[in-house]
C-alpha cells in the first residue's frame, strides 16, 4: 500500500526504438525525439521477455492490487520507466481517477452499458497529467546528469498540455516555456501556466503553427521538447487503459471511445492494453474508437479513404478546442493502434457535441466539449448498431468541465455557433418579492 514510489527496477530496461522498425536502440535519458535513420517517431520499448519471466498475469495483477493509492502511473512503474531512480520522480498524485457507471445517460444516448473514465478530475484538470509526470521525471534525471545541456522544457499546446507541463515543471523546479495559439485557449487554461511561473508565449497562429515553431526552438539541446511526439508521455498515458481494466476487475470493456486530436492518447491507450494482454492480465482487447470534431477531422478523412495517407487540414473553430489540430503528429502510431484493435473513427459536429454535453450534465456529470465529442460518437455508433445493445462502452473523459466555462455559458446563453441549445437553462431574474418567487417555483414544478 505504498504511497511513495518504490526503488527503481533495474532488471527491466526500457529503450527508445524507431516505430518503423529501423535497427538501433537509444537511451531514454538522451535528448532525442525522432529516429536518426528515417525521421519517424520513437517509442519506448520494454523488455517484454524479462517482464513475462518475472511474473505471470496473475502475479502482475496481484502486485498492482497492492498499489491502490498514490500515483496511478507509478503504481505501474515497471511498465512505465523502470530505470528511473525513485528520488527523481515528480508526482502530483495523478491517476486513479474514477470509472463511473452512467446507466441513465447510457439510456439517453441509446448507448447501453455506458461508463465514463473521469481523467479530467485530476490535478491540472486533464489527462495530460498522466504523461507529464513521466516526462518531467525523466527531464529531472537528465538535468541532474553531469554535463547535461538541458536548461528548460517547452511545449506547444491547445491549453491542457501547457497547464500540465507548467505544474509539473514548477513542482520539480524546472523552467518551462509554453507556446499557445493566441485567443484559442480558455481563460482557465491560459491562467494555469501563468500562475505556475512558466514563460507563456502567445503566438498569432493556430496549434499547428505553434508546433512548427517549438520544433525549431528545441533543435538545440538546451530546451527539451515536451509534446506528445516525445514518447515518454505515452508511457504515462498508457496506464489509463490498464487502470480501466483493473477497475472492471480485469475485464476489458467491449469498446473504449476517446476524443482524439494529436493522436498521442489513442496510441498510448493501445500500447498499455496490448502489454496487459501480452503479459496475461486481460484475456481480450476492447475495440477502440477515435472520436474527432468534424471541424478538425484529418484522421476521420484518412479513415474513410482506408488510411491511404494523412492529408493535413486547416482545423476550424470548434468548442472542442483541445482537439483543434489539423496535422496530428502521432498519425502513424494511431493508425497502427486502430488496425490492431479493430478500431474505427467517427466524428461529431458542434451541435452534436453540445447536445451530448448537455444531456450528460443533466445526469450529473459536468462535461467538457471533448468528452462531448466522444459521447456524441458513442450515441451515433449505437444508433448505427455498431455498438450493440448489451455491450459495455467506456468513454474517456479527457478534461474537467470547469476549464470550459466559456462553452457552458455560451450554451446556456444560446450564443454558440451552429448549436441549437435544446436544453438551455438560463437563470430567472425576479424582484425580491416572495409572492412572485413562489409563483415562479410553482410554475416550474408544474412544467417539470
Ligand atoms: C490533448 C487533449 C485531447 C486529445 O489528445 P491527443 O493525444 O492529442 O489525441 C483530448 N481532449 C483533451 C481535453 C485534451 O486536452
Ligand atoms: Zn526509423
Report which bound ligand comes closest to the CA of 24. 2
Model pLDDT, residue 441:
97
Model pLDDT, residue 10:
59
Mean per-residue pLDDT, 66-86: 96
Decide: 262 in ligand 1 pocket, CB within 6 A. Answer: yes
Model pLDDT, residue 133:
98
Query: From the CA of 17, how far away is ligand 2's center (Å)?
Result: 8
Model pLDDT, residue 382:
98
Query: From the CA of 277, how far away is ligand 2's center (Å)?
Result: 26
Give the pLDDT confidence of 152-180 residue by residue, as tens digits.
Answer: 999 999 999 999 999 999 999 999 999 99
Query: From the CA of 37, how far away is ligand 2's center (Å)?
Result: 5
Q: Is the pLDDT of residue 31 over 90?
A: yes
Give the pLDDT confidence of 386-406 residue by residue, as tens digits.
Answer: 999 999 999 999 999 999 999
| Average pLDDT value for the chain | 96
Report which bound ligand comes closest to the CA of 127. 1
Q: Is the pLDDT of residue 6 over 80?
A: no
Decide: 399 in ligand 1 pocket, CB within 6 A. Answer: yes
Mean per-residue pLDDT, 278-293: 98
Ligand 1: atom nearest CA of 260 is 9
Q: Is the pLDDT of residue 376 over 60?
A: yes
Query: From the CA of 349, how far away is ligand 1's center (Å)?
Result: 17
Report which bound ligand comes closest to the CA of 26. 2
**pLDDT-based confidence at residue 228 (cuts at 50, 70, 90):** confident
**pLDDT-based confidence at residue 238 (cuts at 50, 70, 90):** very high
Model pLDDT, residue 368:
98
**pLDDT-based confidence at residue 294 (cuts at 50, 70, 90):** very high
Q: Is the pLDDT of residue 419 over 90?
A: yes
Query: From the CA of 185, how far away is ligand 1's center (Å)?
Result: 13
Q: Is the pLDDT of residue 183 over 60?
A: yes
Model pLDDT, residue 229:
86
**How many Å apart are CA 348 and CA 345, to the nearest integer?**
10
Q: What angle do CA 409, 413, 417 make, to 5 degrees?
A: 90
Closest protein CA for atom 8 of ligand 1: 262
Report which bound ligand comes closest to the CA of 395. 1
Query: From the CA of 297, how far away is ligand 2's center (Å)?
Result: 27
- What lies within 8 Å, CB to CB, of 390 at 6+ separation is 112, 113
**pLDDT-based confidence at residue 9 (cuts at 50, 70, 90):** low
Q: Is the pLDDT of residue 8 over 60?
A: no
**pLDDT-based confidence at residue 448 (cuts at 50, 70, 90):** confident
Ligand 1 site-directed mutation target among 297, 299, 322, 407, most atoms within 8 Å of CB: 322
Q: Is the pLDDT of residue 49 over 80?
A: yes
Domains in the chain with CATH codes:
99-125+234-413 (3.40.50.1100)
Query: From the CA of 150, how far away is ligand 1's center (Å)?
Result: 27
Give the pLDDT confidence of 112-150 residue by residue, as tens digits.
Answer: 999 999 999 999 999 999 999 999 999 999 999 999 999
Residues with Cβ–ion distance below 5 A, ligand 2: 18, 20, 22, 35, 37-38, 40
Amino acid at each position: 500500500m505504498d504511497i511513495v514510489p518504490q526503488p527503481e527496477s533495474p532488471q527491466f530496461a526500457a529503450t527508445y526504438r524507431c516505430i518503423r522498425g529501423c535497427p538501433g536502440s537509444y537511451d531514454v535519458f538522451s535528448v532525442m525525439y525522432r529516429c536518426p535513420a528515417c525521421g519517424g517517431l520513437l517509442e519506448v520499448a520494454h523488455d517484454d521477455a524479462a517482464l513475462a519471466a518475472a511474473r505471470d498475469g496473475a502475479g502482475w495483477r496481484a502486485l498492482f492490487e497492492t498499489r491502490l493509492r498514490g500515483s496511478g502511473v507509478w503504481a505501474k512503474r515497471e511498465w512505465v520507466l523502470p530505470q528511473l531512480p525513485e528520488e527523481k520522480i515528480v508526482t502530483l498524485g495523478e491517476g486513479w481517477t474514477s470509472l463511473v457507471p452512467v446507466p441513465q445517460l447510457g439510456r439517453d444516448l441509446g448507448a447501453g452499458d455506458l461508463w465514463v473514465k473521469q481523467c479530467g478530475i485530476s490535478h491540472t484538470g486533464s489527462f495530460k497529467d498522466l504523461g507529464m509526470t513521466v516526462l518531467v521525471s525523466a527531464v529531472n534525471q537528465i538535468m541532474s546528469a553531469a554535463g547535461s545541456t538541458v536548461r528548460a522544457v517547452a511545449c506547444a499546446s491547445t491549453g491542457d498540455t501547457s497547464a500540465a507541463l507548467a505544474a509539473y515543471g514548477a513542482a520539480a523546479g524546472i523552467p518551462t516555456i509554453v507556446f499557445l495559439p493566441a485567443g484559442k485557449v480558455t481563460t482557465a487554461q491560459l491562467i494555469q501556466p501563468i500562475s505556475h511561473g512558466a514563460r507563456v508565449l502567445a503566438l498569432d497562429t493556430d496549434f499547428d503553427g505553434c508546433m512548427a515553431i517549438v520544433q525549431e526552438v528545441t533543435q538545440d539541446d538546451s530546451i527539451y521538447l515536451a509534446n506528445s511526439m516525445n514518447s515518454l508521455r505515452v508511457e504515462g498515458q498508457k496506464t489509463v487503459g490498464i487502470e480501466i481494466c483493473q477497475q472492471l476487475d480485469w475485464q476489458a470493456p467491449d469498446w473504449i471511445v476517446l476524443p482524439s486530436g494529436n493522436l498521442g492518447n489513442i496510441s498510448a491507450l493501445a500500447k498499455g492494453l496490448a502489454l496487459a494482454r501480452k503479459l496475461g492480465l486481460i484475456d481480450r482487447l476492447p475495440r477502440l474508437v477515435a472520436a474527432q470534431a468534424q471541424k478538425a477531422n484529418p484522421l476521420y478523412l484518412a479513415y474513410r479513404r482506408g488510411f491511404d495517407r494523412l492529408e493535413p487540414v486547416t482545423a476550424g473553430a470548434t468548442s472542442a478546442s483541445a482537439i483543434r489540430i489539423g496535422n496530428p503528429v502521432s498519425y502513424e502510431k494511431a493508425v497502427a493502434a486502430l488496425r490492431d484493435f479493430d478500431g474505427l473513427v467517427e466524428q461529431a459536429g458542434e451541435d452534436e457535441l453540445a447536445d451530448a454535453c448537455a444531456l450528460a450534465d443533466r445526469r450529473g456529470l459536468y462535461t467538457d466539449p471533448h468528452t462531448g465529442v466522444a459521447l456524441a460518437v458513442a450515441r451515433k455508433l449505437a444508433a448505427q448498431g455498431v455498438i450493440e445493445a448489451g455491450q459495455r462502452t467506456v468513454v474517456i473523459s479527457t478534461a474537467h468541465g470547469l476549464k470550459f466555462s466559456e462553452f457552458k455559458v455560451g450554451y446556456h446563453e444560446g450564443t454558440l455557433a451552429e448549436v441549437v441549445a435544446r436544453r438551455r437553462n438560463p437563470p430567472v431574474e425576479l424582484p425580491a418579492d416572495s409572492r412572485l418567487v413562489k409563483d415562479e417555483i410553482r410554475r416550474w414544478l408544474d412544467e417539470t
